[in-house]
Amino acid sequence: MSQLYIGGLLSGIVLSVAVQMIVQSQLLSFRRSRPSKNQVPAKTMLRHLSVNDNFKAFMESGGNLKGYASSAAGTDALFSQICAELTLSTQSLSMIVAAMVKSFKAGLAEDGQGLPMIPSHVVNRPNGTETGTVLALDLGGSNFRVCLVTMNGNGGTRMVQRKYVISHDLKNHTGLALFDFIAKCVAEFLDEQKDHLKLEGLKVKRESSDLSKSIKLGFTFSFPVKQTALDQGDLMYWNKGFSATGVVGVDVVKLLQNALDRNQINAHVTALVNDTVGTLISHAYTRPETHIGVIFGTGTNAAYVEKISEIGKWGGFNEGSDEMIVNTEWGAFNDADMPRSKYDILVDKNTSNHGIQIFEKMISGLYLGEIVRYILVDFVTDGELFDGKLSKKLATPYAFETAFMSRIERDHSADLLDVKQLLSDLLDINNTTSRDRMLIKHVCEIVGTRAARLSAAGIAAIVTKTNRLNGCIVAIDGSLFGQYPHFGSRMRDALREILGLNAENIILEQAHDGSGLGAALIAVTSSRD
């Protein structure tokens, strides 16, 4: 990019004139049509893409103003630029893998270096003999889950669960309000299950300080935590759209337990679990060869089985095992070898956690739709899409959801009629052409494919670090892997590019609701310590 910039360098005066011509060209394209009530003026739209972004695109096009004309050539020029910025070669993937392995090793050796690489304190795996009824709470995205898991001792489980929506306001309110909401949801759920609990000899309301009579609880908390014990961990920072106050730097187990106690709920938190750790454990319950657990959903993260001797910052002692599950927090990965487009930079710039979770912002379901939205706004700005008319909804941050991308990629009709319906119903964009819809689908394919290839690079990095090229099972949970078209096949293709024939030894398997069951299993196995 710097070479392109230098190669296209002009004098300050000429550049200033050129940029003005670009902006004026964009404004003129919008003045040709009077905005309807669902369209915003060009000046308002241009606030979403600064003059600097237009200038950068201008320089990358070699200073050719024809790239901004309303023509097929203009579309080709911008589309080619987007392809160049968002397409990852095999060489780029291999470089990312090497950089991630280096970051893994640095994080294992010392806190504050490389990735967090958080020791989970989970050393025992379930063996199928576990018995009892356990609560599992799962907080980590748009929904909060309460699960009641009963284990029969023969490898069988019974799970009843209920989901509750975490509102945007609650995500950004106080930690006290958030955890009180969680406790009230637990109380409501347990009241519904009181007959089953009675059969197990358990009560909903606490009547004694004797913890042996309380319900064991595994808490899946899918945010970066500095875990100091199996049942203790301080939140390092929020992500995934959360910013509740009074939680960062505080033990989240204590916050939850205090909220449960305030509501007189007869539950004792015995395990704090990251969702990736829970996914790994629950899948290993029936598939012992599972050594990696990954989430590709609202956010992304991975955990894997590591030799304790490799965890230099652990201090050299063990907990009765030579292995421990490590939570990588790979969403925080950021390296010069991971090329970021101007759209990635825009998305990051306008998030509450600007400058961190860069890998996550290029992969996860929370951000993919927003990347596409910025690209589409670029096309509209240049008059290459929707006749240069930007609907208010498309101008709204996060209005273009990743779920839209999934639906768009599923449309294989000749005229993309479902895409037409989606644009009309959900984004107030009517009278689209076949060319408009095909362009949008191609953009979704580019962004979705890059996410899958980056995801594969992360898995390849763990496999390489742990020297499991001869075979392992990767348990994957989350809506992207399970529901986004071709995400899994694109990952497998990328793994073949990176690992060659060894890729056939790496088995990617769908894990369903593993974080809830995993937390319950860990809560039970903790009693064997």
Asked if residues 56 and 67 have their Cβ atoms less than 8 Å apart, the reply is: no
Give the Cα separation of 431 and 420 in Å (integer).
8
Q: Which amino acid appears at position 199 of this protein?
A: L
Q: Give the alpha-carbon dihedral of 374, 442, 298, 160, to 10 degrees.
A: 150
DSSP per-residue codes, 266-320: -EEEEEEE-HHHHHHHHHHTT-TTEEEEEEESSSEEEEEEEEGGG-GGG-S--SS
Q: Return d(Cα 322, Cα 141) in angstroms, integer.
A: 33
Residues in the chain, total: 529
Which letter, b or e, does each residue of 275-293 get, where b requires 16 or more Cβ atoms within 10 Å of its Cβ? bbbbbbbbbbbeeeebbbb
Alpha-carbon distance of 233 to 235, in angstroms, equals 7
- 103, 120, 214, 222: the catalytic one is 222
Distances (CA, A) of 203 to 130, 200, 209, 269, 403: 21, 9, 13, 16, 41
Query: Is 373 tagged catalytic?
Result: no
Q: What span, in angstroms and rounded, lies between the C-alpha atoms of 291 and 472?
A: 6
Q: What are phi and psi of 411, to 5 degrees?
A: -80, 110
3-state SS track over 231-259:
CEEEECCCCCCCCCECCECCEHHHHHHHH
The identity of residue 259, as a single letter, is A
Among this protein's residues, is 261 annotated catalytic? no
Catalytic residue, candidates 145, 450, 453, 468 = 145
In this structure, the strands spanning 290-296 and 472-477 are parallel
Taking each helix axis from N to C terminus, what angle separates 417-427 and 402-410, rounded to the nearest 10 degrees?
Answer: 160
Residue 361, φ and ψ in degrees, nearest 5? -75, -10
From 138, 275, 411, 477, the catalytic residue: 275
Decide: helix, strand or coil at residue 460: helix
**Catalytic residue at 222?**
yes
Both structure tokens of 48: 């979403």
**Residue with the two structure tokens 């490898």:** 155
Residue 231 burial (10 A CB sphere; 0-12, 13-18, 19+): buried
Cα–Cα distance for residue pair 364/184, rounded to 1 Å: 30
Would you name the residues annotated as active-site residues? 145, 222, 275
